[in-house]
A and B are shown apart, each in its own frame.
Chain A
Amino acid sequence: MITFADQLLVLVMLINFIMLGTSRLAFAIRAVAVQGVVLGIIPGLLHQFSGHLLMITASIILAKGVVIPWMINDAVRKAQIRREVEPFIDYVPTLLLGAVFTALAFVFAQRLPLAPEHRELLFVPASIATLMTGFLILTTRRKAISQVIGYLVLENGIFIFGLLLTDAMPFMVEAGALLDLLVGIFVMGIVINHINREFSSVDTSRLQALREE
């Protein structure tokens, strides 16, 4: 089963590329939702079936696959934008950068002193690659919504690493982290609405009134 989980991680990394390459926000949101659902399935493949596991899987899929995408979609709808126009770095270069980062993630993971049973698996490189993709989206896109998506991807990357350590993160903590993420995205959605109302745009490069003279 763990090899199948490994194959799913390839899908996760592919979704990273899709998000780096697309300019349509609705598409990126759908991609991040799919990524969340895939990540929700993986714990189910790694462990023995139990009610506890079912709860975790269900809550992750519900939160990352349904609720959060719905909230971001809502923000997109209210802001009436469809595309990320003019990112700081264009799509093809970011795509290539993403590929380079992914390659580096593999090289880096190779050199990490991993536990022997994790050495052959894709979890660590996938985690680092997803994390870097999140950072890339966060820093190269102007629209507030794209940045939220970047933050989600970053969070997903950390989540992948957490999959190796389910015994250290009991359900309470897992649920708490998920709830924090949900509320965080909810608040970000509200703030995006206000940004849109105040600036008639969700372009964060317009947020530059506050600085030292």
Chain B
Amino acid sequence: MVSSVIHVVLLLVMPPLLLGVINKTKAAFAGRKGAPILQPYYDLARLLQKGSVFSTTTTWVFRAGPVVTLAATLLAALMVPLGNHPALISFPGDMLLFAYLFGLARFFTTSAALDTGSSFEGMGAAREVTYACLVEPTLFFVLITLARMSKSLSLGTMFTYPSLQVWLTSGAVMLLLSNALFIALLAENCRIPFDDPNTHLELTMIHEVMVLDHSGPAFGMILYGAALKLFVLGALFTNLILPFKTGNPLPDWGIFIVAMLYLAVLIGVVESVMARLRLVRIPQLLVAATILSAFAMLLIVR
């Protein structure tokens, strides 16, 4: 019971913290003091208090976008085990639902962007969809490989399966999977080197440009949804690379939280040391990630 409460609370409260840590890390690398770690929470609070402005050319799709996106992401989040703790919803085959909930969220984000009729947002939507096509195979190969290894179709089992034993016997495969998943994580969450969340130049934006027209609480939902998505994929990644478990719930929560914070720092480091890729180079990296995961699958399936 306590565990479930912690689970839900973490799921709802922790995501913006990751953004805060990432920004703080980047600031530290740049030699700045940076915004406070809790800044994303203040931003969300501010946005929720504001009123909304809707363009008269938009339809209900524009309003549904942020809502559906957030709802889908939340639902997907419920299927993910956090550390050693089982997912809240789990059934065989939920990995497919998980993947397609993200697909649904993306569909509504891009539809809402197209609904504005702005050329910038249309461009962003086109890019988003293109890169998503390239990321999705990676995600699926990773999921299939894990499903094969753990002989289960449920995310709950698949991502609590990696243990020290697994890492020792098939370390190469696990290494491939975690690398592929990390690249997918960066791409899915529009981080550098794929997209720069802090850019101010519309031409180079991917995700940010799609949500230019949203304001107030709707924009808050988008920001919160993005953070939640980072949290969900990050949780999958930490489950994969963290084979240690004590069996005692409270220390396990501790390990998970620390691991997530480390992941946020890691993302911050990557964003600080790498430059954003040229747009034409992005598919190359994504195809490479697909090959990594396909290769991992090959090693397992053979």
Contact = CB atoms under 8 A, between A and B. Distances in A.
Interface of A: 3, 6-7, 10-11, 13-14, 17, 21, 91-92, 95-96, 98-99, 102-103, 106, 110, 122, 125
A125 B298 CA distance: 11
Nearest to A110: B302
A73 B190 CA distance: 37
Contacts of A17: 288, 291-292, 295
Given A17-B288, A21-B284, A99 B294 contact: yes
A7 B171 contact: yes
A91 B291 CA distance: 13
Nearest to A6: B172
B283 interface: yes
Given A21-B284, A91-B284, A110-B302, A99 B295 contact: yes
28 contacts: A7-B170, A7-B172, A10-B172, A10-B173, A10-B295, A10-B299, A13-B295, A14-B176, A14-B292, A14-B295, A17-B291, A17-B292, A17-B295, A21-B284, A21-B288, A91-B284, A92-B283, A92-B284, A92-B287, A95-B284, A95-B287, A96-B291, A99-B294, A99-B295, A106-B298, A110-B302, A122-B299, A125-B302
Contacts of A3: 169
Chain B interface size, under 10 / 10 to 19 / 20 to 34 / 35 or more: 10 to 19
- Interface of B (DSSP majority class): helix
A134 B284 CA distance: 20
Nearest to A18: B288
B227 to A, nearest CB: 32
A69 to B, nearest CB: 23
B281 to A, nearest CB: 10
Contact of B291 (A6, A10, A99, A125): A99
Interface in B257-302: 283-284, 287-288, 291-292, 294-295, 298-299, 302
Contacts of B291: 17, 95-96, 98-99
A13 B299 CA distance: 11
A202 to B, nearest CB: 24
Contacts of A7: 170-172
Contacts of A98: 291
Nearest to B302: A106
Nearest to A120: B302
Contacts of A11: 172
Contacts of A122: 299
Contacts of B170: 7
Contacts of A96: 287, 291
Contacts of A10: 172-173, 175-176, 295, 299
A186 to B, nearest CB: 33
A5 to B, nearest CB: 11
A102 B295 contact: yes
A42 to B, nearest CB: 14
A17 to B, nearest CB: 6
A52 to B, nearest CB: 29
